[in-house]
Amino acid sequence: MQLIDWVILSATLLFIVFYGVIKTRGSKNVEDYILGSNETPWWTVGLSVMATQASAITFLSTPGQAYHDGMGFVQFYFGLPLAMVVICITFIPIYHRLKVFTAYEFLEQRFDVKTRSLAALIFLIQRGLGTGFTIYAPAIILSSLLGWHLNLMNIVIGLMIIIYTVSGGTKAVNVTHKQQMFVIFTGMAIAFIIILDYLPEGLGFNNAMHIAGANDKLNIIDFSFDPEKRYTIWSGIAGGFFLALAYFGTDQS
């Protein structure tokens, strides 16, 4: 890496971390820490949800999956709008009426502390394993670029996340995710321009799309009932619905 690469990478990471710490200092109680004092704009929360959903694994694995298997996996997202409607009609009014911070707090009120503790423990184990993969994926890329040991890279990434999360809670996560989404959108735009520049001479974007379509890479919707197929619109709606219902309705992350 050149000096300019080090400067851009270091400045971006340090700005994201310290911006989150500075903008969210002064949290005085649990409500401030978890709810961000109810002062976060809706669009910041929306970008934060997008950043949470689109981890480094998304940007590393999804293009490869689309290249290898085509765009059929998009059908898995068709159940998402239906799940959001159910969540807005049922889950959110209950949470708001009971004034609970988490789905696990609701379980304690509805049942008992043992039920809450068991559900929270299962969630922490599941999310801990998932977070490990989320950190490990970008660590592989950064360790190759920077020449650092993979274990050290995992520790550095983990510490940076811990700093702004512990220091400012949900509000810190929201504001740092906002900055991350700006970096992500900018990177996607630059990557798209570079890809177009690397297309063979005389081959434009439309031609590339026609070639991809001819090789069955753009066949998004499959109405078949073949159980052997990995993705169909029916499995996408059913599976995607329940996955989104659990993820956006009860998942504390």
How confident is the model at residue 32, as a pLDDT? 62
Q: What is the pLDDT of residues 131-158, one digit of tens each?
A: 888 888 888 888 888 888 889 988 988 8
**Region of poorest pLDDT, from 48-57, 66-75, 106-115:** 48-57
| Nearest CA-CA partner of 248 in 87, 125, 74 | 87
Angle at 248 (CA atoms; ends 139, 103), nearest 5 degrees = 105
pLDDT band (50, 70, 90) for residue 48: confident
Instruction: State the burial class of residue 91 (Cβ atoms within 10 Å of its Cβ: 0-12, 13-18, 19+).
Output: middle
How confident is the model at residue 33, as a pLDDT? 63
**For helices 150-198 and 113-146, what crossing angle results, to 10°?**
70
Euclidean distance between CA atoms 94 and 87, whole angstroms = 10
Which token pair is 231?
A: 């993705």
pTM (two decimals): 0.70
Euclidean distance between CA atoms 167 and 132, whole angstroms = 21
Which token pair is 183?
A: 């970096």
Angle at 245 (CA atoms; ends 40, 233), nearest 5 degrees = 120
How confident is the model at residue 37, as a pLDDT? 60
Within 8 A by CB and 6+ apart from 184, the residues are 51, 54, 59
Q: What is the DSSP string of 234-252?
A: HHHHHHHHHHHHHHHHT--
Q: What is the pLDDT of residues 200-248, one digit of tens each?
A: 887 888 888 888 888 888 888 888 888 888 888 998 899 999 988 988 8
How confident is the model at residue 82, as a pLDDT? 93
Consecutive H or E run containing 120 = helix 113-146
User: Does residue 252 surpass a pLDDT of 80?
Assistant: no
Instruction: Provide the 3-class DSSP secondary structure of residue 107.
Output: helix
Tell me the H-state helices in 54-99.
56-69, 80-86, 92-98
Q: What is the pLDDT of residues 167-202, one digit of tens each?
A: 666 666 777 777 778 888 888 899 889 988 888 887
How confident is the model at residue 26, as a pLDDT? 59
Consecutive H or E run containing 173 = helix 150-198
Euclidean distance between CA atoms 133 and 49, whole angstroms = 19
Q: What is the pLDDT of residues 81-130, one digit of tens each?
A: 999 999 999 988 988 888 887 888 888 988 989 999 998 899 889 888 88
Consecutive H or E run containing 206 = helix 205-214
How confident is the model at residue 24, as a pLDDT? 61
How confident is the model at residue 130, as a pLDDT? 81
pLDDT band (50, 70, 90) for residue 52: confident
